[in-house]
Structure 1
Amino acid sequence: MNERKPTLRERQRSETRRAIQAHAVRLFTDRGYDAVTVADVADAARVSAMTVYRHFPTKEDLVLVDQPALLIAERVAASSPTHPLVHRVGGALVEAATALTGGDGGEPAANERFLLDCLRLMVSTPALRARHLDSQYALQQAVVDALGDDATDPEAAFRARAATGACLAAMHTALTRWADDDGRSKLPDLIARALAASFGHDVVARAGL
């Protein structure tokens, strides 16, 4: 069955949203998050402040990136339910990082720099840290939901949350290292190394990482 193609209106809305967020992250990075207003972002993007708020209800939303969570959940859902939870989640994290940073021949390095700038803003700005934590909880729930039958009863849900939380903790360590070295290391490799340090090289190797 063919997927429905986005309408012209939907494409325009998506392009406007991306443009607004790109200008916002650039301004926040150059001037500091607290020094930039929504009006500044609107001026840079050549739209009204109302248009900014229509796409991003709060200033904090301008730094949140939905794409990684969606990709991770998709990869988890597509993984084999016969594989151990850590393999499914860990493999999805590495695959999503590869896609997001252009390692699979997709998006160019510009997307990688944008993600790196968003990450730095999230971890270095006190006003954004709470939202960053909220986004991690939301990601954990999205992954648990994507595991499907593995989370249909309380005991299975507990195991799914434990495995997912451990994998996400390893990924957070990799993301912090990636930000610290200004993206010079490859993010998928860092995540694989963090997973290996957490669960052992044999476990990670069996997951195909």
Structure 2
Amino acid sequence: MVNTGRRERRKLETRRRLDEVALRLFLEHGYDGVTVAQIADAADISVATLFAHVPDGKEALIFDDGSERRAGIVAAVRERADTESVLDALERFFASRGPYSTKLPAEHAEKRDLIVETPALRSYARRLWHSCEPLLVPVLAEESGLAADDPAVLALARFVLEVPDLTGTAADPLAALAGVFEVLRYGWPA
């Protein structure tokens, strides 16, 4: 067990409080109706302290640092069953997340809906997905036997990382996800 120091515990507690306060305010007033100053005030900290904890601004208060999604997408490819294709593994990975999941607890569903309905948050989520590219490309190259700088590998990685943005706001996100992966598997119909 790692013994976290007092200072680190206080930083984690402040960040947790900021996340909770921001989400509550966003749900009550809409994302665009809340300022960084209002979040700091409601969390009883200064704006400077808020930015020390969240240098990317208020969008980052809704998301983690992206490390979980980067690790998750790589694990989906590397830890898939021998009988499962890379594309099937990636589709399964996305289907269990955010706009595609139908089994989210109410508090997570509210957060998901806020993200889907807020252009600034969708844009930030897109940047987080793009941050997966440097880790996904070598895995796709390894699995395909192609070089990491092969345009086919780069194209697949980039397109796959656009899938949440392309399908997450569809009327039926899961069906849209399936449709995009069908095109990836079988190509564009003649």
Q: Same fold by TM (over 0.5)?
A: yes
In the alignment, which residue of structure 2 is the partner of 1:62?
61
Structure 2 regions of 5+ residues with no counterpart? none
Matches for 1:1-209 after TM superposition, within 5 Å: 5=2, 7=4, 9=6, 10=8, 13-59=11-57, 60-65=59-64, 66=66, 67-80=68-81, 83-97=84-98, 103=103, 108-121=105-118, 123=119, 125=120, 131-147=124-140, 149-150=142-143, 154=147, 157-177=150-170, 190-191=173-174, 193-200=175-182
Letter in 2 for 1:160: V
Distance in 1, Cα, partners of 2:14 & 2:30: 23
Give the stretch that moved more between structures: 31-40 or 17-26: 31-40
Distance in 2, Cα, partners of 1:96 & 1:33: 21
Q: TM-score, normalised by structure 1?
A: 0.62
> Shift of residue 197 of structure 1?
1.6
Distance in 1, Cα, partners of 2:90 & 2:114: 25
Letter in 1 for 2:152: R
Q: Look up the SS of the partner of 1:53 in the other structure.
A: helix
Letter in 2 for 1:16: T
CA spacing shift, 1:48–1:78, aligned 2, 3 Å: farther
Distance in 2, Cα, partners of 1:97 & 1:194: 14
Identical counterparts, % of pairs: 25
Letter in 1 for 2:109: E
Distance in 2, Cα, partners of 1:198 & 1:129: 19
Distance in 2, Cα, partners of 1:52 & 1:40: 11
Q: Which has the higher helix share?
A: 1
Structure 1 regions of 5+ residues with no counterpart? 205-209
CA spacing shift, 1:69–1:153, aligned 2, 3 Å: same
> Shift of residue 139 of structure 1?
3.0
Distance in 2, Cα, partners of 1:68 & 1:102: 19
The question of whether the paired residues in 2 share the 8 Å contact of 1:170 and 1:198 is answered with yes
Root mean square deviation of aligned Cα: 3.9
Distance in 2, Cα, partners of 1:101 & 1:18: 24
Q: Look up the SS of the partner of 1:58 in the other structure.
A: coil
Q: Look up the SS of the partner of 2:156 in the other structure.
A: helix
The question of whether the paired residues in 1 share the 8 Å contact of 2:126 and 2:165 is answered with no
Letter in 1 for 2:127: D
